[in-house]
Amino acid sequence: MKPQVNHALSAVLRLAMSVAVVLGLGAGALAGLNLTASAEPEKAQVTGARVAGDETRTRFVLDMNRQVTPVISGLANPDRLIIDLPEVEFSIPADSGETGRGLVADWRFGLFAVGRSRVVMDLTGPVKVDKTFFLPAVDDQPARLVVDLVSASAEDFRTFVETSRPRRVIARDNSAPKSDRLTAPKNKEKPLIVLDPGHGGIDTGAIGVHGTLEKAIVLDFAKLLKEKLDESGLYNVRLTREDDTFIPLGRRVEIGHELEADLFISIHADSVRRGQKFARGATVYTISDRASDQLAEDLAQSENMSDVIAGVDLAEEPTEVTDILIDLARRETRSFSVYFARSLVDELKSAVRLINNPHRSAGFRVLKAHDVPSVLVELGYLSNEHDEKLLISDEWRERMSKAVTEAVHGFFRPRLARQQAPPSQ
């Protein structure tokens, strides 16, 4: 629609509203006019992306269908460049950004929070943003967002990081807003279980041999498991995320704590990055200060990189409080976590294939709530072709969800029995 037509329609609509007010008509009286001067705008689209240049000067370009306003900032340790955008649709291949060029080692993209998309570039060294501009669409050429980077000193990049930080909205402020969904029941007669589908949004997690995304697999499974647990009527079950949104690791832990959860189950389907390439089968992890084996250490390191991948400022993460009461609570919580992990392994043995030594431990950040028994379940390994096929199989998912549900029943059976027992005379 041409601008002048849009203005004319807006004028007509304003006139109609004025007449309605004068005549004492309600807003519903205008429904029949069907004047749609300001329809809900569609999301902007990214239709192409590329990196060009060398170690001295590098240009990053996003092809778009219309102009948006970027917010650019930097993060150190490791050095990253962050481009925050209004929520856009990325119509580019999923593997875009796996390799970079010049000052950009690689880059990734996706939904970061409600209403916000993000591009994160891993840098080969300190940079300066030399120019940022938007080229309008001309003829058959799309509109283009252009960011020019030049090599800089480490001191210059540190200054840029510090000056750009106030312009950013920290992820924990809006990636998992507090709502009724994240409020603990006032009368908590039922055990409360938090299911935590890993990754999400800009953090895709592992990618399978045939392109299966971990973030999608674990969200689907978490929803299925919630259905199974809800059917029993015995529990209150919440999810840390219900859609393709990124949630920082610290916020996931906070959700379990704020809800006063009785059990926290983090759900993943990782890839083996080095060694043990043929590893397959489900695994249950609990937290420990020292990893039980190399695979557990590698996976914990990989999962703990989630915030780095999404461009979260790790300096904003709260520091742990040292307190003897918290330490005692943490020890008791770890004991309950191990008890549930062993029960879960016993149930899974008869339902699905398990990895050798299926109960392992490492320093997973998402399991660090001192007051909530927590386990991390690897459904399987997307780096293994056989596991990938199972993870998208309805039959396998049904068996797996039933086994986890039975383990949950066993864990809470003593408590439920006490609640249902008649009072003593």
Question: Does 69 share its domain with 204?
Answer: no
Question: Does 377 share its domain with 356?
Answer: yes
Asked, for residue 39, whether it belongs to a domain, the answer is: no
Low-confidence ranges of the chain (pLDDT < 50): 1-38, 167-181, 319, 321
CA distance 189 to 229: 16
Measure the CA angle with vertex 261, ends 327 and 195; round to 5°.
115
Specify the pLDDT at position 104.
97
Question: Does 95 share its domain with 198?
Answer: no
Domain closes at, from 144, 169, 194: 169
Question: Does 228 share its domain with 141?
Answer: no
Question: Does 220 share its domain with 192?
Answer: yes
The burial of 116, by beta-carbon neighbours within 10 Å (0-12 exposed, 13-18 middle, 19 or more buried), is given as buried
Hunting for tokens 């120019």 — which residue is that? 131
Asked, for residue 294, whether it belongs to a domain, the answer is: yes
Specify the pLDDT at position 172.
42
Asked, for residue 385, whether it belongs to a domain, the answer is: yes
Indicate the number of domains in the chain: 3
Query: What is the CATH number for 201?
Result: 3.40.630.40
Beta strand ranges found along 280-373 (DSSP E): 282-287, 354-362
Specify the pLDDT at position 199.
95
Query: What is the CATH number for 77?
Result: 2.60.40.3500
Question: Does 17 share its domain with 65?
Answer: no
Question: Does 183 share its domain with 327?
Answer: yes
Question: Does 276 share its domain with 128?
Answer: no
Specify the pLDDT at position 169.
45
Question: Does 127 share its domain with 243?
Answer: no
Provide the domain limits for residue 230: 173-420
Specify the pLDDT at position 41.
61
Question: Does 17 share its domain with 94?
Answer: no
Residues near 128 by Cβ (< 8 Å), separated by ≥ 6?
149, 150, 151, 152, 156, 157, 160
Tell me how far apart the terminal alpha carbons of the chain are, to the nearest angstrom. 79
Specify the pLDDT at position 178.
43
Give residue-wise pLDDT tens across range 24-33: 434 343 344 3
Question: Does 113 share its domain with 184?
Answer: no
Question: Does 29 share its domain with 98?
Answer: no
**What are the backbone dihedrals phi and psi of residue 287, each rounded to the nearest 5 degrees, phi first?**
-85, 145
Specify the pLDDT at position 277.
59
Measure the CA angle with vertex 279, ends 276 and 282; round to 5°.
145
Specify the pLDDT at position 419.
72
